Amino acid sequence: MDGAPGAKLHYRALENLYASAPVNSLFKSRLEIVEQGHSRISFTIDESVFHAAGAAHGTIYFKMLDDAAFYAANSLVTDRFLLTTSFNLNFTKPVRGGDVVAEGRWVSGKRRVFVAEARLVDSEGDEIGRGTGTFMRSHIALSGLPGYSVDSR
């Protein structure tokens, strides 16, 4: 499916779905589905996401890792929205600012349950966080979600 025109349309529709989520007005970021099973989210860390000690709060780590893993997994599923059922997160380095990329990769599963992992890399090329999630097919049809469209940008 990866090379098929339908796959590319699915990837663009997932990117639009991500952009349409209200939570992303709080966390400005851009999703790219690179290929089947591989997503990339680019964002910038600034003081708006700092905790009291002057570095990025774990909220931003979790959100971006979960999203990157989720969309890597959902790139394999064209009919249903997946739901996160569990997510394990490791913080490896605090970050105080700059551009960060969350790279998501599908690991296993193709029917009901999917496993995907993600890592955060800062502008120096250092890994600052890593996570693994389990995602399950929901009863929510992708086609029924207002943001899931290639025309919504």
For 11-51, give the DSSP string. HHHHHHHHHH-GGGGTS-EEEEEEETTEEEEEEEE-GGGB-
Selected residue with higher pLDDT from 5 and 24:
24
> Average pLDDT in the 129-140 region?
98
pLDDT of 153 over the 70 cut: no
Residue in 58, 130, 40 with CA at minimum distance from that of residue 94: 58
3-class state of residue 61 by DSSP: helix
According to the model, what pLDDT value does residue 6 have?
A: 86
> Average pLDDT in the 8-37 region?
96
In the beta sheet, which residues pair with residue 117? 105, 132
3-class state of residue 105 by DSSP: strand
Q: Where are the domains of the chain?
A: 5-144
* CATH placement of domain 5-144: 3.10.129.10
pLDDT tens for 99-120 read 999 999 999 999 999 999 999 9
